[in-house]
Structure 1
């Protein structure tokens, strides 16, 4: 099987960043892709003007690409932040203000997956207080996602690049997924399995796939080392995606890697053109 039997989408917050936001969907379409994902595009605006939301919706529709994943507001990405929902005060308030806006936008474009990044530990704040706040916010987010027929994604990051984030292993992310589902009774919280982050943590990726595919709602890939395109590092990504497929995963695989010295379109040379359009 390998790469030719997957449903890939392009992350427009890490690829095509050489272009303005509203030009990126068309660029992905021109490269042969029919699906994309985004971090929250307005890092300084959890509640953007309706005109900005409408413009992004039009850009997606005009390009003929489907938005399949969207982050809730998560602070400065890329940058020092790793989410907002566990940060007491202004950042948590921004996350809450964003929840229904993000969910309603997702509904308007048919996006069925919303990713909620946990956030960093804050010096001087009891971790238990942050975790209590996080669970409260994740319950609100899960209910908003459910309202629009979407899943809530919980992602494990990696400790070397995110040393202040407490969600830096697959088991820890699964623990949060289970807590949210138990608290809401909805069952729509799922694991976002980012193979790059997990590999940076030194986790056994085959074991992660074996244990947690059933609770996985989305997958993202980049090679390691370097966070580049498949083939630029040492990860057996084609084999890992085959294992995921055999374990029952038939969802999206987000290309969340850095193009490096090449253009974003040139970075897709590893993937045949006929395998880019979702089937």
Structure 2
């Protein structure tokens, strides 16, 4: 059976961020992920992880000015120095927190910048990120995100992400397979996962189309979990969804699966 990590950016919104670690552990999670750790010191988060007996799986490199609407820097020409400084900062946190996965967000395609120039910038920044991460034993992830939730995001499709991974050719550059985004953009989730399996470094789930618990909507996750197991996926699966109500009550899907 797959191993599930609580995404603390979405789950347990009824708690302050640092209190979500204990809440996740109380519900039986053994690992966590989230968007960004940078509002807290790495040492402070490490203390919460250790107290709750949790494994840190994943977080994102700094995305630029998130509050102002920025969603990553890697494909933005002229922001290379900021992007690469962010990679360094993410790796500093990863060294303390122990995770071996860091997601680098591409960003929103700037007005007036053609896709080819943005792609060249993206490849250059990702090659640099993978080179630096390799020294620390870290894998860099890229994630296609659907344009309904994030209009203008540079990377939308799994096949495009895999082509970028192959063009760079770094063994520690992988694709983050978010079933929610894949279903919205491409569909055919099971076959797409099977096709790209060798290049997938992490999996995330949510119900489609409303991004609630994975037992709601148009994807039948018990079947997908069986397929992931059959293919030999042994990584964590991030529960990156918005609970309809109380997070713990909404985990009935996971309790049934474990039973």
Task: Give the TM-score band, short-chain normalised.
Answer: over 0.9
Residue 258 of structure 1 pairs with residue 254 of structure 2: no
SS in 1 for 2:32: strand
Shift of 1:250: 1.3
Which residue is equivalent to 1:242?
226
Count of equivalent residues: 259
Question: Does the CA-based 8 Å contact 1:213-1:244 persist in structure 2?
Answer: no
**What do residues 3-44 of structure 1 show as CA deviations (whole Å, max 9, x unaligned)?**
xx11100111111233222111111111111100111234xx
Runs of 5+ consecutive residues of structure 1 not aligned to the other structure: 43-47
2:124 to 136, 141, 155: 136
Which residue is equivalent to 1:105?
93
Residue 152 of structure 1 pairs with residue 148 of structure 2: no
Write the distance in 1 (CA, Å) between the matches of 2:99 and 2:234: 16
**What do residues 119-150 of structure 1 show as CA deviations (whole Å, max 9, x unaligned)?**
11100123222222211211121122211112
Residue 272 of structure 1 pairs with residue 255 of structure 2: yes
Shift of 1:78: 8.3
Which residue is equivalent to 2:178?
194
**What do residues 108-129 of structure 1 show as CA deviations (whole Å, max 9, x unaligned)?**
2221111111111100123222
Residue 81 of structure 1 pairs with residue 81 of structure 2: no
**What do residues 81-126 of structure 1 show as CA deviations (whole Å, max 9, x unaligned)?**
3322112345x44322221221121122221111111111100123
Write the distance in 2 (CA, Å) between the matches of 1:241 and 1:12: 22
Which residue is equivalent to 1:30?
26
1:123 to 100, 111, 136: 111
Question: Does the CA-based 8 Å contact 2:202-2:235 persist in structure 1?
Answer: yes
Write the distance in 2 (CA, Å) between the matches of 1:78 and 1:218: 26
Write the distance in 2 (CA, Å) between the matches of 1:109 and 1:236: 33
Q: What's the TM-score once normalised by structure 2's chain length?
A: 0.92
Shift of 1:173: 0.9
Assess, with a 3 A threshold, how the Cα gap between structure 1 residues 180 and 122 changes in structure 2: closer, same or farther: same
Question: Does the CA-based 8 Å contact 1:214-1:248 persist in structure 2?
Answer: no
Write the distance in 2 (CA, Å) between the matches of 1:189 and 1:101: 18
Write the distance in 2 (CA, Å) between the matches of 1:257 and 1:236: 15
SS in 2 for 1:272: helix
Q: Which is worse superposed, 25-34 or 94-103? A: 94-103
Question: Does the CA-based 8 Å contact 1:151-1:188 persist in structure 2?
Answer: yes
Write the distance in 2 (CA, Å) between the matches of 1:16 and 1:79: 24
Residue 163 of structure 1 pairs with residue 151 of structure 2: yes
Question: Does the CA-based 8 Å contact 2:203-2:237 persist in structure 1?
Answer: yes
Shift of 1:76: 5.5
